[in-house]
């Protein structure tokens, strides 16, 4: 049995105290009482993965760094200077305060800790067949890979083949080592683990294409994560290959004109995703922190709003029309207004990846067919107009604009794109903050280190090995 003082000291120094509560249920020692907790039977390991936190992560802090968002100067002037969302939106280099908790970082690592428990300890389960063990371990590896892919994308620099082996990102935790506090692993090391975990899952003969339920993904989910990973690395032929493998099996679209069952394409809760035809890997999120500080939801930037033409049902369903800026719609909960986000990996995203990679390879007809299939399901039939392009570069531009529309406010996708597109296209995109009079308050480019989310002072204090300066 691992000792309380060793295990919890390690977790404390790596992640901060806030992680311990979420992990303690599945560790050997109860941190409050010191009593033993048995995680020896197969059903116990199943319970570890039957955790809604595996589907729920709030990416608001990542959205605040992008060119998708606008906040009125009046609102900014009336928000406390120590509000992390405000400081991130203003593109401040150090936007965390001494007492801030980064729920995205700690939440994803809590999920990784639970996945690690299954991967490392399930082989010792006393009442499971080898097939049962292999299946649950494969599922845990899909989850772990996805969480690490998100973490390295937000908290590390974009993947650059020439510097990935030396660029430092985040801790790489595959097990609990009581003898040392982890330093940051390289970007390359994180991507290697993601690839290895996903390929292990894909090659497992215990998984079906579709997962058994929303919390237990199958091979299609694994391939979708691998496709996203190769896209972030700039390995476009491989990204296209795995996107097409997914689409060969699952390619049904949800027609927003007919989507009353799903609130016109916007599932409210996790269970609403169960019968959604486009969902490959189910993810949702809720946020009240922003609404608790600001009197309304965040606004779409003029640039993002300009990409949505009239009668686009995505704009109608997800945004509230305004005079100058549209607003991200609030939803209702038992306690009042809430922000809900659709963070799933979908058929549409796989089509966008295949289309982008095809355009980068010089294709035009196939990428246009893919994005136009998406658009056919996002407009009323009488309002739909096909996108066109005569050169691969024109088509690539059309694909990237469609990607921005389809994935607006989905799992921090825009921040990941801003970072990776600088490496892929060798040109920067400007992220600008204007005041209400149109005066530029601050402007950075997409190769700025400000787009890499910093670790909080609390985490750095707990583990000095994570400091980079």
Where does the pLDDT of residue 141 fall: very low under 50, low under 70, confident under 90, or very high at 90 and above? very high
For the cut 80, the answer to whether the pLDDT of residue 54 exceeds it is: yes
- Both tokens of residue 397? 């531009």
Indicate yes or no: pTM above 0.85: yes
- Both tokens of residue 137? 């371990």
| 285/232 Cα distance (integer angstroms) | 22
Q: Which candidate, 192, 152, 189, 144, places its Cα nearest to that of 170?
A: 152
Of 328 and 161, more confident: 161
What pLDDT does 280 receive? 96
What pLDDT does 365 receive? 98
pLDDT digits (tens, 9 = 90+) for 311-362: 899 888 888 776 556 777 766 555 556 778 889 999 999 999 999 999 999 9
What pLDDT does 13 receive? 43
Place of tokens 């990428």: 367
pLDDT digits (tens, 9 = 90+) for 253-305: 999 988 765 555 565 567 778 888 999 999 988 777 776 777 667 788 989 99
For the cut 60, the answer to whether the pLDDT of residue 195 exceeds it is: yes
Of 432 and 310, more confident: 432
For the cut 90, the answer to whether the pLDDT of residue 109 exceeds it is: yes
For the cut 60, the answer to whether the pLDDT of residue 401 exceeds it is: yes
Is there a contact between 425 and 414 (Cβ–Cβ < 8 Å)? no
Length reported for the chain: 469
Where does the pLDDT of residue 202 fall: very low under 50, low under 70, confident under 90, or very high at 90 and above? very high
Report the percentage of the chain scoring pLDDT > 90: 64
Q: Which candidate, 361, 364, 427, 426, places its Cα nearest to that of 395?
A: 364
387 Cβ neighbours under 8 A, 6+ residues apart: 368, 371, 372, 375, 398, 402
What pLDDT does 33 receive? 32
């Amino acid at each position: 049995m691992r000792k309380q003082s060793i295990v919890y000291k390690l977790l404390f120094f790596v992640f901060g105290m806030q992680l311990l509560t979420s992990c303690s249920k599945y560790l050997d020692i109860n941190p409050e009482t010191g009593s033993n907790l048995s995680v020896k039977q197969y059903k116990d390991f199943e319970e570890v993965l039957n955790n809604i936190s595996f589907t729920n992560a709030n990416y608001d802090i990542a959205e605040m760094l992008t060119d998708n968002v606008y906040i009125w100067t009046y609102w900014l002037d009336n928000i406390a200077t120590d509000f992390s969302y405000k400081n991130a939106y203003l593109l401040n280099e150090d936007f965390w305060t001494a007492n801030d908790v980064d729920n995205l970082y700690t939440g994803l690592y809590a999920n990784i800790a639970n996945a690690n428990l299954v991967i490392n300890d399930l082989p010792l389960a006393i009442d499971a067949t080898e097939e049962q063990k292999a299946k649950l371990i494969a599922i845990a590896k899909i989850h772990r890979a996805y969480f690490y892919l998100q973490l390295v994308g937000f908290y590390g620099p974009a993947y650059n083949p020439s510097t990935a082996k030396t660029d430092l990102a985040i801790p790489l935790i595959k097990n609990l080592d009581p003898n040392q506090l982890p330093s940051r692993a390289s970007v390359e090391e994180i991507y290697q683990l993601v690839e290895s975990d996903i390929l292990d899952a894909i090659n497992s003969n215990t998984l079906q294409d579709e997962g058994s339920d929303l919390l237990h993904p199958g091979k299609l989910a694994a391939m979708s994560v691998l496709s996203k990973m190769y896209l972030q690395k700039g390995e476009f032929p491989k990204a296209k290959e795995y996107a097409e493998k997914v689409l060969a099996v699952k390619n049904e679209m949800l027609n927003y004109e007919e989507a009353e069952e799903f609130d016109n394409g916007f599932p409210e809760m996790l269970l609403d995703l169960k019968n959604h035809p486009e969902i490959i890997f189910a993810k949702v999120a809720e946020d009240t922190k922003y609404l608790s500080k600001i009197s309304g939801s965040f606004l779409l930037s003029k640039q993002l709003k300009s990409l949505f033409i009239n009668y686009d049902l995505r704009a109608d369903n997800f945004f509230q029309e305004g005079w100058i800026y549209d607003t991200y719609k609030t939803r209702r909960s038992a306690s009042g207004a809430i922000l809900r986000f659709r963070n799933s990996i979908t058929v549409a995203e796989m089509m966008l990846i295949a289309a982008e990679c095809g355009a980068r390879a010089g294709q035009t007809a196939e990428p246009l067919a893919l994005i136009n299939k998406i658009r056919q399901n996002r407009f009323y039939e009488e309002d739909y107009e096909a996108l066109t392009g005569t050169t691969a570069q024109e088509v690539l531009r059309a694909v990237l604009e469609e990607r921005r529309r389809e994935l607006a406010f989905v799992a921090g996708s825009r921040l990941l794109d801003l970072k990776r597109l600088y490496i892929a296209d060798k040109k920067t995109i400007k992220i600008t903050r204007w005041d209400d009079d149109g005066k530029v308050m601050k402007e950075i480019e997409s190769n700025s280190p400000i787009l890499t989310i910093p670790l909080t002072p609390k985490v750095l204090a707990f583990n000095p090995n994570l400091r980079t300066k």
